[in-house]
Structure 1
Amino acid sequence: MPPLTVVICVDHAYVSGGQSKVAIESALGLRAAGARVVFFAACGPVDERLGPAGVEVVCLGQPDILGNPSRLAAARQGVWNAQAEKLLEETLGHLSYDRTIVHVHGWAKALSPSIAKPIQAAGLPAVYTMHEYFLHCPNGGFYNFPKGDVCALKPMSMACWGTNCDSRNYPFKLWRNARMFVAQHVAHLAETFSDIVLLSDLQEKVLATCLPKGAAIHRVTNPVEAEPLGPKADPRSGDFLFVGRLSAEKGAFLFAEAARRAGVTPVFVGDGPIAGELQARFPQARLLGWKSPREAREAMRAARALVFPSLWYETFGLTALEAKAMGTPAIVADGCAAREAIEDGVTGLWFRSGDADSLASAIRELNNDAVITQMAKAAYDAYWAAPATRERHVGETLAVYEAMLARRAAA
C-alpha cells in the first residue's frame, strides 16, 4: 500500500493561536507516524520544527489580512487570494491522486475562499476542522460583539446583513458578508469538504442547520501539550487565573468584576485590546502580559484555579483541558464548549454564562481549602486517565483519513 500523503492548509505557518498550533502539532505527529506531510500556509515565519521533522513546507510569505499595511490589498486578499489559489494548484498538481488527503484547518485570516477551487479541480478528498465558525458565520463566532451576546440570526439572512455584529465597525461587517457570499456562491467552499471535524457537542448543536448536507461528521481530540507532573503538592496555594486573549468576548471584564465581588485578586496571563481598560477599571487586577506556552502552563500549575469565563461559543476550550492536565480545577461558563472538559462539582465548576454573581459564587466555593484540595486531585486523575496526547490526536485523525479513502474506493 502506498504511503499516505496529507496536505495541511492553514493561514499561519507559526503558532499564532490554537488553530495553527493544532495544525502544526498534527503535521509533526502525522509525519512521525510515517505519512508524507505537505504544510501549505500563507504567512511566515515557518515554525522551526517542521523542516527538520521532514514536513514539506509551502509558504507564500504573505502578511495576514490584519497585518497587511494596505487596507485595499488586505480586503482583496481576504476575499480572493489569487496567489494562494495558484500555488495550491501547483502543489496539488505534483501529488499522486492515490492516498492523498487535503486537510484545511483555517482560511479566513489569509488564505481566503480561493483555496476551494484547486482542491475541487484536483478531485482529492478534503476535510475541514472547525476551529471556528467562519465556514458558516461571517464574523466567525455567532456572536454580536457590540451587544456582547451570542447571535441567533440565520447567517447571511437579511437580518444578518442589516445587523452590525462586528468587533470593528459596520463597513467591516459588510465586507465579511461580501466575503461569505463569495465563499458560498463563487468558491462553494463548504461543499468542497466531504468530511467535517468538530471538537465539541456544543459545536454540533450550534451548527445543526448549517453543516453541508451529506458531509460525514467526526470528532478528533485536539492535542494538549502537558507532562504528567503528578498531583499538586499543595493545591490550596496560588491565584484565580485567566489565560488567553484579553478581549470582552473572552469574559475578562466579567472575571475581574466577579473576583472583586468574591474578594479575591484576579490574575491575567495574556494580552489583547482591552488590557489598558481592564487595568484602569480594576486596578487590583494583576496583568502579567503575554507568556510563552511553557510559562503559561507553569502559571496554570501554580494557580489555585483557572477561570474560563468566555461569553461566546468557544469551539473547544483548550485552556481548560491544559489546566486539568496540570491538576488545576477550572471554573467554566456553561454556555461554551469548555464545560465539556469539566465535570461540574468534581473536576471544577460551571457557572451561568455572563452572570458575575454566579461566577463570584463559584470563586468563593473554590476558595475553600477542602474543596480545592479534593477537586485538584480529581482533575489531575481524570485528565491522565485518558490524556489528550499528540499520539491520540494522530490516531483519531488517521482513522478519519482512512474512512474517507475507503468511501472513495467503494464509490
Structure 2
Amino acid sequence: MAAPRPTVVICVDHAFVSGGQAKVAIESALGLAAHGARPILFAAAAPVDERLTKAGVEMVCLDQHDLLGNPSRAAAAVQGTWNLAAARALADLLARLPRDETIVHVHGWAKALSPSIAAPIRASGLPALYTLHEYFLFCPNGGFYDYQTNEVCHRTPLSPSCWATHCDSRNYPRKLWRNARLTVAQRLARLPEIFSDYVCISDYQQQIVGPYLPKRARLHRVSNPIDCENLGRKSDPATGDVIFVGRLSAEKGAFLFAEAAARAGLRPAFIGDGPIADELRTRYPQARFLGWLPPDRVRAEMRAARALAFPSLWYEGQPLTVLEAKAMGTPIVVSDICAGREEVEDGVGGLWFSSGDVDSLEAALLRLKDDALVARLSDGAYDAFWRDPPTLDRHVERILAVYAEVRERKRVERREECLQKMALPSPALREKVASRSEVG
C-alpha cells in the first residue's frame, strides 16, 4: 500500500518571491501540490504569489511587514525578537491538522516570523525540519561574514569576541540586537532543537554548519529546484559579455568583478540592483546596468552571455544563478570560497579564482578571451547540468522521501513511548499491541 501523501506546513517569511529562500519555498509548495500532497504556506509578509492561488495551495498570510519594510524601527525590533501574532496563528493552524499526516518544514524565520515559531511547533509534537538557505540559526548576521572588513568571519557565534565585534552591514547597535535575538532563539526558544532533521543544499554548506547542529540532528542533501528549459548546447558560445546576476552588494563581490573586468579590458554587465548600485555606476561608467529583469529575460541574457561571474565573498548556500547559467550552457567564473564552486568543475564547466583576489579574477577573465576555451567550458557546463538536472519534479521526489523518513521515525518513537508508558510485562503482548498500533 502506498504511503499517504503528507500535509506539509511550509513556514517562510514572505509569501512572494523576495529572494532565493522564498523562491524555493513557493516553488516547492507548487511542486508538492502537483504531486498530490497538501502544502500549506504559512508566511508573515504579503503579497501572496498569484501562482499559489491559481494552484489551489492553502495559504495563511499574516499581512505583516517584514523587518526592513516596517515603518517603525521599534515595532520591527519587537516583531523580529518575538512575533506574537505569528506564534498564535501557527499554533491555531497546527492544532487543527491531522497529527499522523502532518510535517512542518521551515525555510526562513529571520526576516519576519521570528524565533517565536518554535513554541507552537514544539507544543504540536509534529515532526519538523529546516532547510539551511542561510545561517541565521547559528550566526547573528546570517552569513558567518564580517561586512565591515568584507571577509569571512571565523569567530565563535555569541562569544565575547562576537559581541565586541561590529560586523553588521549597517551599524553596531543593529549587530547587538541581532546577537540578542540569536540568544533568544537558541537559549529561550531553543529553536534549533525543535528540528530533528536539516536539509543542506550543498555539501560545502554541510561542512560549514556541521559543528553547530544539534548532536542528534540528521542531515539530508536536497538540491534547490531549477526551472529551466533544455535549449541544447550553444551554437556560438564565444559571444556576448561577462555578466553578473544578483544583488548589488559588497559581499556579493560586485566591486571586485567590476575592477577585474576593467583591468582585463572587458565591459561587464550587471543584472540586479542593491545598495552599491550608484557607487558602481559612478566608478565604472563603462559597465552595463540592466537592473532587475523578469525571469525569462534573465535566462535570455544568461544564454547570450560569454560567461557568468560569481565572485561572492561569503560562503553562500547553493547559488541559483550558478545552476541557471549551467543550464544555459554558460561558463561560470566562481570564487573558490563559496558554495557555488561545488557546481563548477574547474577547467571543465568554468574557472575558479582565489576569493577576494582581484588579480586572480582578472587572470580568469583574461583566459575567457580564448574563444576555443569558452566553447569547451560552455559544453562542459551544459553537459554537467543536464546529466542530472535538479528539476522541480526531482526536488519534490527527494523531499517527499525525506518527509516519509521523518514521519516514519516519528511514528516509531510515538509507538515506543506508548509501550513504555503501558509498561507491559509480556513481550508477546507488547508485540500484539505494536502490531495493532501499526494497523490503526
Q: TM-score, normalised by structure 1?
A: 0.99
Residue of structure 2 in register with 1:41 after alignment = 43
Question: d(CA) in 2 for partners of 1:82 and 1:250?
Answer: 34
Partner of 2:211: helix, strand, or coil? coil
Correspondence for 1:405: 407
CA distance in 2, matches of 1:98, 1:2: 10
Partner of 2:57: 55
**2:246 is aligned with 1:244:** yes
The answer to whether the aligner puts 1:186 opposite 2:206 as a matched pair is no
Instruction: Select 1:378's aligned residue among 380, 394, 401.
Output: 380
Match of 2:258 among 248, 256, 259: 256
Q: CA deviation at 1:235?
A: 0.4
* C-alpha contact 1:320 1:341 (8 A) present in aligned 2: yes
1:371 Cα deviation from its structure 2 partner: 0.5
1:225 CA displacement: 1.4
Q: From 309, 312, 330, give the equivalent of 1:310.
A: 312
* 3-state SS, counterpart of residue 351 of structure 2: strand
Match of 2:326 in 1: 324
Deviations 1:247-304 (A, max 9, x none): 0000000000110111101110000000000111111111111111221111111100
1:338 equivalent in structure 2: 340
Deviation at 1:2, TM superposition (A): 4.1
Spell out the pairing of 1:6-405 with structure 2 (5 A cutoff): 6-405=8-407
Larger Rg belongs to? 2
Q: Secondary structure at the match of 2:53?
A: coil
Q: For 2:41 and 2:281, how far apart are their aligned partners in 1?
A: 40
Cα distance in 2 between the residues matched to 1:59 and 1:119: 17
Unaligned runs of 5+ in 2: 414-440
SS at match of 2:43: strand
Q: Which runs of 4+ in 1 moved over 2 A?
A: none
Aligned to 2:418: none
Name stretches of at least 5 consecutive residues in structure 1 with no aligned partner.
none
CA 1:376 to 1:2, structure 2 compared with 1: closer, same or farther past 3 Å? closer
Contact 2:331–2:349 (Cα < 8 Å) also in 1: yes
Name the CA distance, whole Å, in 2 between partners of 1:168 and 1:180. Answer: 17
8 Å contact 1:126–1:194 — kept in the other structure? yes
Residue 9 of structure 1 and its aligned partner are, at CA, apart by 0.2
User: What is the letter of the counterpart of residue 327 of structure 1?
Assistant: G
Q: How many residues align?
A: 411
Shift of residue 189 of structure 1?
0.4
Output the CA distance in 2 between the equivalents of 1:93 and 1:195.
22
Could you state the TM-score of these two structures normalised by the residue count of structure 2? 0.92
Normalized per residue, which structure has more helix? 2
Measured after TM superposition, the shift of residue 404 of structure 1 is 0.3
* Worse-matched range after superposition: 371-380 or 321-330: 371-380
Counterpart of 2:421 in structure 1 is none
Root mean square deviation of aligned Cα: 0.8
